[in-house]
Each structure stands twice: as structure tokens, then as C-alpha cells.
Amino acid sequence: VVFDIIGVAATAAKMPPLNARAAKKVVGAKQAINLARNSEQVASFCNDVVGDICGIISGSAAAAIVFNLFVNNPNQRYINIITMAFVASLTVGGKGFGKSLAINYSTEILMIVGKIINFAQKLFPFRKAKEGRSNGK
């Protein structure tokens, strides 16, 4: 659900507030601008790739937990159905609530994600390869 919020916020973001924060040198603003500029890729990755994988994992985990807890229970079938419905309703409801939240607070959400990315970049620095050079020459 969190990655769905990030993907929707990237597509709904307006550039002027992010540019203003970058001009004031607010931490994470440059990263937030990059997320907004690349909103198609961000939304595709966050919503489709990560969101779908997490949905599959949460459903499978819920099924495994129910199976292990109620393996000898004669009502296991009903408990399994109720649990799977509960997990599905949390996922769908969370995504619906998260999308409205992301649309209304896209700038703030991207700034939070930008600060996290900024922190990760400082924690794990990497150098970009120089353009125009190949084979280490």
C-alpha cells in the first residue's frame, strides 16, 4: 500500500512547490523533483511491480498462517475464507484510502520519500559512470 501511495503521489505531484523547495535547498527536494519528472517509471515500478508482488506475498502468507493455525479444525475452510477476505479488504481499502491521500498530499509525500532517498544516497554513495568513455579508457 505504501508503494502505491508513492506511485500515485509521483503522478499527481505539481512541480512549482517542489521547485520552490529545491530553490530553498530543502533536503530531499532534488530527489522529489526527480521522482515527479520520472512519474511514469516511478508509478509503473511502485504500483505494478512492488504493489503486485506485495499483494501476492501477503495473500500467500495469510493462507499459510491460517493453514498452520487451524490444520486440525473442521471449520478450517470457513476460517480460511474469512481470513482471505479480511486480507483482501485491508489491501483494497488501504489502496483506496492511500490513493486519495496521495492525490491530496502529493508534495508532502514526495518530500518524505525524497528525504529517505537523500539519506540512502549519503549512506551508500556511488559514482555515476562517465559518459563517452568505454572499456575503462
Three cell numbers written together for 65? 498462517
pLDDT score recorded for residue 58? 82
pTM of the model: 0.78
For residues 98-125, average pLDDT:
95
- Residue-range domain boundaries for the chain: 2-121
Query: Higher pLDDT residue, 85 or 106?
Result: 106
CA neighbor of 32 nearest in space, from 124, 121, 125, 107: 107
Q: Is the pLDDT of residue 133 over 60?
A: no
Q: CA torsion sign, 4 to 6 to 9 to 15? A: negative
Three cell numbers written together for 97? 484510502
Q: Is the pLDDT of residue 135 over 90?
A: no
CA neighbor of 116 nearest in space, from 19, 20, 32: 32
Measured distance CA(122)–CA(27) in Å, rounded: 12
Q: Is the pLDDT of residue 136 over 70?
A: no
**Confidence class of residue 45 from pLDDT cuts 50, 70 and 90?**
very high
Is 6 exposed, middle or buried, given 0-12, 13-18 or 19+ CB atoms closer than 10 A? Answer: buried
Give Cβ neighbours of residue 19 (< 8 Å, ≥ 6 apart): 33
pLDDT score recorded for residue 35? 96
**Confidence class of residue 134 from pLDDT cuts 50, 70 and 90?**
low
Measured distance CA(91)–CA(105) in Å, rounded: 20
Alpha-helix runs per DSSP H in the chain: 2-12, 15-23, 29-37, 39-43, 51-69, 76-104, 106-123
pLDDT score recorded for residue 62? 81
- 126 three-state secondary structure: coil
